[in-house]
Amino acid sequence: MKTKEIHSILGVAPATFFDRNKADSKKKKLAKLLKELDTDTVVTLLEKAKQKPKKPNMLLYTVNQSIGDKSKHFTLTSLKNLFYKKEPFNLYDKYAINTIKVEATNIEIEQFANYYKIPMQRIYRVLKAC
């Protein structure tokens, strides 16, 4: 890529790029890499980086929608940890599990499990425990 392309795509000012391209700079390898890459490759890589999977919030919304006390609402992390928790479950855990069994769709559960890499067997075991 040319210096102008690096500036327009990545926002690196030409003066900064020239400083990094000096022989005594620790970032000379980075500058060399940027010069060697073609524009299409960089644009493709940046587009792929933007396409991160979204967090599966629907299961969280389903569980929290009927809990009136917002201080007792689950977070994504606490909901994930619910499936790794050993029994005994507290009152809110049991309520969340029952809500998932009754109100959550299979798609919500599967998306949540896939995103957090929770084995479905573990989810089914927790759902059967209450």
pLDDT of residue 104: 93
Q: What is the DSSP string of 59-94?
A: HHHHHHTT---GGGPPPHHHHHHHTTPPSPP-HHHH
More confident of the two residues 23 and 1:
1
pLDDT of residue 110: 94
In this prediction the pTM is 0.59
- Per-residue model confidence as pLDDT tens digits over 19-51: 877 777 778 888 888 889 899 998 888 888 777
Give the contacts of 115 (CB within 8 A, at least 6 positions apart). Answer: 53, 55, 56
- Per-residue model confidence as pLDDT tens digits over 51-87: 777 788 999 999 999 888 899 999 999 999 999 988 7
Indicate the pLDDT class of residue 126, thresholds 50, 70 and 90. very high
Cα(67)–Cα(64) distance, integer angstroms: 5
- Per-residue model confidence as pLDDT tens digits over 87-98: 789 999 999 999
Indicate the pLDDT class of residue 123, thresholds 50, 70 and 90. very high
